[in-house]
């Protein structure tokens, strides 16, 4: 049966004199996706389950003011110039040292004080695609080079959200963009108990080893026969109670290289039947279980429809190059040079299973 896809644009507020746009795709009988030009954020993603019940499965806020004032966890945001961490908040390119913000201890996280998640992007509609673009000036947040960046969102009538990040620079610089959506396939308001019931598969045989501050050492840890091993479907709650109480780790994807998309991960929620598959051309994926959302003893972060978001209430799959890659020659490079184009593609594919059975990962082939 043919699924009708519609797209509409509306105003979502004003930030620093710039109008923030909200774009919504609707698929008849399928997904409904909304993104906003502030932070190039995925604001809402509604997906039906096996009973036909449609729920929003990403954490976020209903209004712009909340994103501006309270989005410290980067809910749904585009992260840049450099996602994840840079050790000691400095790096060297061609013998010159660049210092960036120490915004997580003495290290650098997610692009700095005013990263790409906190600016209003220019909006261009191209058919059923929206292109957000941003001009980052030389030494913005300490990074060298004028950087022209775009994030293209496309929703297709087979319930796929396609994202493409592109960037060019005038000087050698560090670039590692990602999307930081927080998913809970039971619903954005379902909390930790339902998160523990999710089943996870990750196409990786190792993770990057880190120190106590989550900075990579340059070494790798094989995941086989450890709580980090998601090569076969595993209930998340079991993995988290087997000696690893939380996840915030970069998995090294078994991939075919940057020119094609490879299966990265799949997550399912048995009681609703919903599942998510992730494909990307990036070498890594940060698997994160919302460890820094408020604990049960703290006031919740109030999100959409008054939902209280807390620790372990969602998971992230942030496709990326490896964290702190600028300091490790054995990692895939995060350096972009003039004349080259940074290109990062990721596809989120949603669906549901009618039968009560374990979700199986698709054959690991490029798409």
Residues carrying an active site annotation: 180, 318
Q: Is 248 annotated as a binding residue?
A: yes
Q: Is 269 annotated as a binding residue?
A: no
- Return all residues near 302 (Cβ < 8 A) that are at least 6 apart: 308, 309
**Distance between CA atoms of 140 and 146, rounded to whole angstroms?**
9
Q: What's the CA dihedral at 74, 80, 83, 87 to 10 degrees? A: -110
Q: Is 81 annotated as a binding residue?
A: no
Q: Is 256 annotated as a binding residue?
A: no
As given in the structure block, the two tokens for residue 227 are 């709580």
Q: Is 181 annotated as a binding residue?
A: yes
List, as one string, the DSSP characters of 2-16: PPPEEEEEEEEEEET
CB 347 within 8 A of CB 161: yes
- Return all residues near 6 (Cβ < 8 A) that are at least 6 apart: 25, 26
Determine whether 332 is exposed, middle or buried from the number of CB atoms within 10 Å of its CB (0-12, 13-18, 19+). middle
327 three-class SS: helix
**Distance between CA atoms of 129 and 7, rounded to whole angstroms?**
9
Q: Is 84 annotated as a binding residue?
A: yes
Using alpha carbons only, how large is the chain's radius of gyration in Å? 19
Q: What's the CA dihedral at 283, 74, 227, 225 to 10 degrees? A: 0
**Distance between CA atoms of 261 and 282, rounded to whole angstroms?**
8
Sign of the Cα pseudo-torsion (64, 69, 75, 76, in order) = positive
As given in the structure block, the two tokens for residue 125 are 């509609």
Pairing of β 216-222 and β 234-235: unpaired
CB 192 within 8 A of CB 313: yes
- Binding-site residues for beta-D-galactose: 84-85, 180-182, 248
- Binding-site residues: 84-85, 180-182, 248
């Amino acid at each position: 049966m043919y699924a009708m896809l519609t797209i509409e644009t509306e105003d979502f507020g004003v930030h620093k004199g710039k109008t923030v746009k909200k774009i919504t795709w609707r698929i008849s009988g399928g997904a409904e996706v909304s993104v906003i030009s502030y932070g190039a954020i995925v604001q809402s993603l509604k997906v039906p389950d096996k009973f036909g019940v449609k729920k929003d499965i990403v954490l976020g806020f209903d209004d712009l003011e909340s994103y501006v004032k309270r989005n410290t966890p980067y809910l749904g945001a585009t992260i840049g110039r450099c996602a994840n961490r840079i050790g000691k908040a400095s790096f060297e390119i061609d013998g010159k040292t660049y210092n960036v913000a120490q915004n997580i201890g003495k290290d650098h996280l997610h692009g700095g004080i005013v990263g790409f998640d906190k600016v209003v992007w220019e909006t261009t509609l191209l058919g059923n695609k929206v292109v957000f673009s941003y001009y980052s000036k030389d030494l913005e947040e300490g990074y060298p080079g004028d950087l022209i960046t775009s994030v293209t969102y496309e929703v297709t009538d087979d319930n796929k959200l396609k994202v493409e990040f592109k960037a060019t620079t005038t000087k050698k610089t560090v670039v590692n963009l990602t999307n930081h959506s927080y998913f809970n396939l039971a619903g954005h308001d379902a909390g930790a108990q339902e998160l523990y019931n999710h089943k996870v598969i990750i196409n990786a045989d190792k993770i990057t080893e880190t120190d106590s501050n989550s900075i990579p050492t340059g070494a790798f840890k094989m995941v086989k026969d450890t709580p980090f091993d998601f090569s076969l479907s595993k209930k998340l709650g079991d993995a988290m109670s087997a000696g690893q109480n939380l996840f915030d780790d970069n998995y090294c994807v078994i991939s075919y290289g940057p020119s094609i998309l490879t299966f990265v991960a799949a997550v399912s929620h048995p009681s609703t039947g919903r599942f998510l598959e992730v494909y990307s051309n990036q070498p890594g994926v940060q698997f994160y279980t919302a460890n820094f959302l408020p604990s049960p003893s703290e006031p919740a972060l109030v999100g959409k429809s008054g939902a209280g978001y807390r620790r372990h209430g969602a998971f992230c799959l942030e496709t990326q190059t490896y964290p702190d890659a600028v300091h490790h020659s054995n990692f895939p490079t995060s350096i972009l040079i003039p004349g080259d184009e940074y290109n990062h593609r990721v596809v989120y594919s949603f669906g549901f299973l009618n039968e009560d059975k374990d979700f199986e990962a698709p054959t690991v082939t490029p798409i």
